[in-house]
Structure 1
Amino acid sequence: MASSEEFTKYVAEQLSGAGTITYKKMFGEYGLYCNGKFFASVCDNQLFVKITDKGREVLRNPEMASPYEGAKPSFLITELEDKELLCRLATATCKALPEPRPKKRIDKNKEDN
């Protein structure tokens, strides 16, 4: 079952205290970004956050699950009402994740040799 944009928008609003939260549709599901850094996904209308040691400290006893078959496990966040906890988790997770690699720019005017 694909996630709804309505649910994803709600999750993004709950996380908004952590920074600029955006989302992008990906294969019927959504990727979540905080200040441009991918840190979570919404799959089947559930929130999955990348696993980090700092995130584990925030959650203390996190539930883990794979967002889809064959995916790496993530923290499964079932309690979405505690905005403060969600923001602390997003902030801690993003600080622990590496910076995104710059996108390679393709010069369409360059001739192949």
Structure 2
Amino acid sequence: MASDQNFVNLVMDQIKNPGEIIAKKMFGEYGIYADEKLFALICDNKLFIKPTIAGREFIGNVIEAPPYEGAKISFLIEEKIEDSNWLSELIRISLKELPAPKPKKKK
């Protein structure tokens, strides 16, 4: 089931983070990027954040699930999506740990 644009808009409106935050449509679902660094997926109207050590410590009682069949485990964020400060802080500390995007190969 593809994610609803209204849910994507809700998530994007909650993120208060320095840098450019964008959602890119991918196979009916969405990748969420900060300055070209993929940090989250929205699949089936659920928010999945890439796992990090600092993110795990910040969340505390982490719910983990794959965003889609065959995917790596991510942090499933359900109850705190509408808490803008909490979500923005989770993303801020997670981005520090996530690797920079690989340079794109020239064709």
* Corresponding residue for residue 68 of structure 1: 68
Regions of 4+ moved over 2 Å: none
Whether 2:5 is the aligned partner of 1:9: answer no
Bigger Cα Rg: 1
**CA deviation profile, 1:46-104 (whole Å, cap 9, x unmatched):** 00000100111110111111111111110000021111110111011111001001111
- Give the drift of 1:35: 2.1
* Corresponding residue for residue 42 of structure 1: 42
**2:98 alignment partner AA:** L
Q: How many residues align?
A: 105
Question: What's the secondary structure of 2:41's corresponding residue?
Answer: strand
Question: What's the secondary structure of 1:86's corresponding residue?
Answer: helix
Please report the RMSD computed on the Cα atoms of aligned residues, expressed in angstroms.
Answer: 0.9
Alignment partners' CA distance in 2, 1:54 and 1:78: 19
* Corresponding residue for residue 95 of structure 2: 94
TM-score normalised by structure 1 residue count: 0.88
* Corresponding residue for residue 18 of structure 1: 17
Q: Which runs of 5+ in 2 are unaligned?
A: none
Alignment partners' CA distance in 1, 2:58 and 2:91: 10
Q: Which runs of 5+ in 1 are unaligned?
A: 107-113
**CA deviation profile, 1:1-23 (whole Å, cap 9, x unmatched):** 100122112101111x1232101
* Corresponding residue for residue 57 of structure 1: 57
**2:7 alignment partner AA:** F
TM-score normalised by structure 2 residue count: 0.93
Question: What's the secondary structure of 1:18's corresponding residue?
Answer: coil
Alignment partners' CA distance in 1, 2:39 and 2:51: 9
Question: What's the secondary structure of 1:68's corresponding residue?
Answer: coil
Does the 8 Å CA contact 1:34/1:90 hold for their aligned counterparts?
no
- Percent pairwise identity: 50
**1:85 alignment partner AA:** W
